Structure 1
Amino acid sequence: MRTLGKWLGRILLSLLLAAAVIGVWKREEITRLWAVNSLFSEERIVGNFSHMDAAFLTAPLPRGDGPVSPLPEGEPARLPDDTEGWIKARTLTSLLVMKDGTIRYEDYFLGTRPDDRRISWSIAKSYLSALFGVLLDEGAIESLGDPVTRYAPELTGSAYDGASIRNVLTMASGVTFDEDIMDPNSDINRMGRIIALGGTLDDFTASFVERFSAPGAVWKYVSIDTHVVGLVIRGATGRSVTELLAEKIIAPLGQEQDAYYLTDGAGVAFVLGGLNLTTRDYARFGQMILQNGDYNGQQVIPADWVAASTAPTAPTAPGKDGYGYLWWSPEGGVASEFMGRGAYGQYLYIDQARNVVIVATAADRTFREDGINDDNIAMFRRIADGL
């Protein structure tokens, strides 16, 4: 019995040592996986959204060597009387309102700071749209009608084989992808775990083989379509999206701070939602878009691309918000009104007719409930009306 006990003891010690070695070897992956699983918890979500680089792989987007572009302050705005209640109800972390190129309101909430670099979530898609427009104008990409496999041949044989660039820009690829962020087993959450464990988004994207419709026939919000846009950009230029965005979009804006992308294990940018910038730097981008791509006397993005990309050309259902090339058009709005929008209450709202840009960042765990998006847009419109 004593010999058996010694043998069992040695086995147990070996297992404990093996577990310890694996724990050290995989410490970063385990930490990131834990971060994904607790990312949206009530007690951590606000801090997480301002410090995503503490838990995930990242790549820097340098602001460049130019001076910081000024954001002058105008006369303080009188906001609607119920703004304070709306801010609390929607768990806002920052709100910045610009009119005629001047800041009329700016404040930060729930312990966040002006220098926090905040996760964009799907506002990042609108940044990628801007970059795509520059590259199209430069001739790196020939046509929106080109099949995505022309620039991303690794998608040959996948569900994206036969889809055009226009199809993925407008979320009309027809690819079957579960976007339910509340379901831990959905495709969007599987993607999050792949990032956490150092997997590759390119392989993940190429693994989809089913469609629910022919490309171009039906609109359905499928975030993975935006990764395909990134694949096209990389295939067409031979450069990373991180490098290109920093050079062609970030540097001309005179940002206050470097930005950064979340990345997968291969260093590929999480282009569909992984940008992190300060609230003021989101406002600089929004002001450039409002000015039809012009900023500080430089045409950063072609004006015709701003018009084309923000127009609601996707085959969305009647009576619903419209969609362009990775930009939203609020239902019941006008041509001059559009926005970038991200999960948990991130908004970059632009009204060219009123010359208004509004940035709202949030940690709103109720953002998917019926009517909340409509209420937020109504508040932005009321703020714009009162300036």
Structure 2
Amino acid sequence: MTETPIATPAAPSGRPSVMTGFPPPPEARATLANWRQPPFSAWSFTHTREIVPSAEIPAGTPRPLEEDWTDLSRVPVPDGAGGEIPFAGLLAATQSSACVVLQGGRLLWEWHGPGHDGLAPHLLFSVSKSITGLVAGQLADRGLLDPSAPLTALIPELAGSAYEGATLRHLLDMTVSTAFDESYLNADGDYAAYRISTNWNPAPDPAAAPDLRGFLTTLKPGTEPHGAAFHYVSPNSDLLGWVIERASGQRFADLMGALLWGPIGAEAPAYITVDRFGAPRTAGGICARPRDLARLGEAVRRRGVVGGRQVLPGWWLDDMATAGDRAAWARGDLRELFPAGRYRSKWYQTGLPSGALACLGIHGQWLWIDPEAEVVIAKCAHQDEPACDATDARLIAGLDALCNALA
């Protein structure tokens, strides 16, 4: 009997598709060294736990979404060059993996890019920060966290670091003064060392590699006083995860499942990447189904009410949507993203007439909540570049236009 070889599927370039074959050929393997780079990222952003260690975030009883299907693929939105493009065309042009649109809590439309079905948890990158902010709000509501508390009182190990003299509110609002440089593409700077500590990059010397919590205690202070300006620093949100675990006495993954993922009726468990000692990457390591991200957005839109039950503290969400230091934002490093906006408790106030709130992560992750149109949009992507101001502006205009059309 003669065996007939089965060909390995080829990508459009003629090279084998990523992670196909048994084993995949070397040039098609996603590794810790290449997993956030194209062409590997389209695969690894929905298989992150196969690259980086993770902890599961449990779900409870799924709460089905009511459906009211409407084809939104041809809704015209700005194309970024003075013309218009169909909304589905904007998603494809920005290398989107999935998009879920809810209106009034009903599932209106769902779109998937090639190779994606929405069932695999997708890496949310910095949308994780906003989710972590909601978990902090749950603890504040229970009296376990006080936003005015000094960080060194919560985590004494921070004494002498950039966080000396800062409060939890400074941490929540990204107004900690630190010299940390958030340069995603710098292979030798602060961010590269940070990624090694989170287990996201290979360590040149594994025996000497820093862990995440140890790395946080080494950050150096900036020149301005705390609270003076918005300064986007991802390690701040990992520190918030440490604060949450220390205050609650529980692992973040278990706590998020109990206080957030279960109560919103998520349809599937999520997960979060961890360092070599199990510290969670609460700044960017949460992976979840796009529909569950939309469920979370709907809970926020409804001021924390799910199925007639208050599952998120309404006062925290009100503060998140209306408070914040506009002057600190105006002096900050992302002011051009939302010129009339603010930042509060890890969420962006867009400053648009609709009063929209937003969460965003590099490589094209978005959660958009438009209270005027009663619309929630969850979008995941695998954009080649970590950040692009022009692409962000194009997506902001497109998401706002879609909501305006639905309003």
Q: TM-score, normalised by structure 1?
A: 0.86
Contact 1:174 1:216 in 2 (8 A): yes
In the other structure, the counterpart of 1:146 is: 149
Which has the higher mean CA deviation after the structures are superposed, 290-299 or 303-312?
303-312
Contact 1:58 1:260 in 2 (8 A): yes
Distance 1:182 1:214 in 2: 28
Measure how far apart 1:85 and its partner are. 2.6
Letter in 1 for 2:123: I
Partner-residue secondary structure (3-state), 2:219: coil
Pairwise mapping of residues 184-199 of structure 1 onto structure 2 (< 5 A)?
184-196=187-199, 197=203, 199=210
Distance 1:133 1:369 in 2: 31
Pairwise mapping of residues 8-19 of structure 1 onto structure 2 (< 5 A)?
none
In the other structure, the counterpart of 1:284 is: 295
**Alignment of 1:39 onto 2:39:** no
Letter in 2 for 1:246: G
**Alignment of 1:73 onto 2:92:** no
Provide closer, same or farther for how the CA distance between residues 58 and 199 of structure 1 changes in structure 2, counting only shifts above 3 A.
Answer: farther
**Alignment of 1:115 onto 2:114:** no
In the other structure, the counterpart of 1:30 is: none
In the other structure, the counterpart of 1:158 is: 161
Distance 1:121 1:212 in 2: 28
Distance 1:381 1:133 in 2: 27
Partner-residue secondary structure (3-state), 1:37: coil
Contact 1:36 1:192 in 2 (8 A): no
Match of 2:220 among 196, 209, 220: 209
Partner-residue secondary structure (3-state), 2:31: helix
Distance 1:308 1:335 in 2: 17
Measure how far apart 1:295 and its partner are. 0.9
**Alignment of 1:317 onto 2:334:** no
Distance 1:246 1:124 in 2: 14
Match of 2:45 among 41, 44, 49: 49
Distance 1:48 1:247 in 2: 27
**Alignment of 1:351 onto 2:370:** yes
Letter in 1 for 2:38: E
In the other structure, the counterpart of 1:130 is: 134
Contact 2:163 2:221 in 1 (8 A): no
Distance 1:381 1:347 in 2: 12
Distance 2:385 2:249 in 1: 41
Measure how far apart 1:261 and its partner are. 0.5
Contact 2:138 2:312 in 1 (8 A): yes
Match of 1:94 among 89, 92, 98: 98
Distance 1:157 1:334 in 2: 43
The C-alpha deviation readout for 1:76-101, integer Å capped at 9, x for no partner, is: 14342322331222000001111111
**Which structure has the highest helix share of the two?**
1
Measure how far apart 1:283 and its partner are. 0.8
Which has the higher mean CA deviation after the structures are superposed, 82-91 or 351-360?
82-91
Provide closer, same or farther for how the CA distance between residues 188 and 334 of structure 1 changes in structure 2, counting only shifts above 3 A.
Answer: farther
The C-alpha deviation readout for 1:31-78, integer Å capped at 9, x for no partner, is: xxx8342122221110010000001110011112x2x11112114143
Letter in 2 for 1:219: F
**Alignment of 1:171 onto 2:178:** no
Contact 2:180 2:220 in 1 (8 A): no
Partner-residue secondary structure (3-state), 2:299: helix
Distance 1:368 1:268 in 2: 26
In the other structure, the counterpart of 1:262 is: 273
Match of 2:110 among 106, 130, 134: 106
Distance 1:238 1:134 in 2: 14
Contact 2:96 2:381 in 1 (8 A): yes
Which has the higher mean CA deviation after the structures are superposed, 187-196 or 298-307?
187-196
Partner-residue secondary structure (3-state), 1:136: helix
Contact 2:32 2:52 in 1 (8 A): no
Distance 1:194 1:367 in 2: 19
Distance 2:224 2:111 in 1: 45
Partner-residue secondary structure (3-state), 1:280: helix
Partner-residue secondary structure (3-state), 2:89: helix
Partner-residue secondary structure (3-state), 2:363: coil
**Alignment of 1:233 onto 2:244:** yes
Which has the higher mean CA deviation after the structures are superposed, 155-164 or 37-46?
37-46
Contact 1:52 1:119 in 2 (8 A): yes
Distance 1:187 1:231 in 2: 20
Letter in 2 for 1:192: R
Letter in 1 for 2:310: Q
Aligned residues: 350
Contact 2:175 2:231 in 1 (8 A): yes
Distance 1:289 1:199 in 2: 36
In the other structure, the counterpart of 1:219 is: 230
Considering only CA atoms, is the larger Rg found in Structure 1 or Structure 2? 1
Letter in 1 for 2:362: A
Distance 2:129 2:291 in 1: 18
In the other structure, the counterpart of 2:314 is: 303
Contact 1:199 1:266 in 2 (8 A): no
Q: What is the alpha-carbon root mean square deviation over aligned residues? A: 1.7
Distance 2:346 2:284 in 1: 12
Contact 1:340 1:349 in 2 (8 A): yes
Structure 2 runs not aligned, ≥5 long: 1-29, 77-84, 204-208
